[in-house]
Amino acid sequence: MPAVDRIVVITGANRGIGLELARQLAAAGDTVVLGSRDPAKGAAAAAGLKHQGLDVDPRPLDVTDPAGLADLAAGVERDHGRVDVLVNNAAIHYDTWQRASTADLAVVGEALDTNLLGAWRTTLALLPLLRASSHGRIVNVSSGAGQLTGMTGGIPAYKVSKAGLSALTLMLADELRRDRILVNAVCPGWVATDMGGPGGRPVAEGAASVRWAVDLPDDGPTGGFFRDGERIPW
């Protein structure tokens, strides 16, 4: 069973899967730090959850801003003392219009800066607070599009950034075993969000796929890639 009253930080939580995950976890009794690059959008999203009686703490969180991440870590330490769960959810550029052979590398660089380096920066900023927890979890929201198994052409910026996130997941899982921090990647599936577009599964189902890794017991798996609680190939 998951620990009760956890402190959960979610990046990119003002909409889509991040917002729904925040709702689910807050409804279960967790304190959710709702991170948003745009503070106004984060505050509006948090107000909607607070209106439902849910405990959320909106914070500016730009995964590309090291100074801002340092401020976030200091504020969370001051107000909460620890972080039990970090969900690296923020992502950009599902670049269906591109091919690897003709790619705009500026777009690729932006995707890497948010989807891979952003998750890396946020993890490093919050790692001391995760180590202060008795039940540390890092959940990297990834995608089947980044699987090397069966990878084909197209969507290069997004695919490469998510493949890199897989490598980061494996390295962190190995290095943080001694700290009893579980690190896993999760594919929420094709979800009907602003990024995923219409036709996908309901956002609640995609968020539940991510929540499975958040709620892992202390003896749960680490260093894996999962969808709906089932291990999938890298």
How would you list the strands of the sheet with 85-88, edge to edge?
56-60, 31-36, 7-10, 85-88, 137-141, 182-186, 225-227, 230-231
d(CA 24, CA 18): 10
Of residues 142, 146, 224, the one with CA closest to residue 182:
224
Coil vs helix vs strand at 230: strand
Coil vs helix vs strand at 227: strand
The residue from 158, 212, 225, 226 that is catalytic is 158
Of residues 176, 213, 215, 155, the one with CA closest to residue 28:
215
Q: Is 158 a catalytic residue?
A: yes
The amino acid occupying position 172 is L
d(CA 115, CA 162): 7
Q: Active-site positions?
A: 158
